[in-house]
Amino acid sequence: ASDFKKQMIDVAPVLASVNGLKWKIWSIDETNKEASGYYLFENETKLNTYLKNVFFVGMGNNATVSNIVVKKFEILEEPTAITRGPIGKN
């Protein structure tokens, strides 16, 4: 596994304890040196607290990460439920 993958494995248990985080899906494209994550928080307040106090602090201290883009989206609950999206699960 790449060094980045190893870092993410080390970070995952810490992230799992973040207040309000229901789940995160991790993804990576090693060929293009890109990674992404899809997060589900209990509410926007907890998401914003995480971004301010954890995410940007941690990413700012990680020399292997650059060009960070954060986008917030509203979940379309009805079609997500039809396609079995895990929005109601921990």
Q: Number of folded domains in the chain? A: 1
28 or 59, which is more confident? 28
In a domain, 88, yes or no: no
pLDDT beyond 80 at 18: yes
- Output the pLDDT for position 12: 94
CATH code of 30's domain: 3.30.70.100
Domain extent, residue 48, equals 3-82
Phi/psi for 7 (5° steps) reads: -60, -45
The answer as to whether 90 is a domain residue is no
Asked if residue 78 belongs to a domain, the reply is yes
| Contact of 32 with 63, CB cutoff 8 Å | no
pLDDT at 53: 87
Whether 89 is in a domain gets the answer no
pTM for the model stands at 0.80
Instruction: State both tokens at 21.
Output: 């985080």
Q: How many CA atoms lie within 13 A of 46 on its CB side?
A: 12
Length of the chain: 90
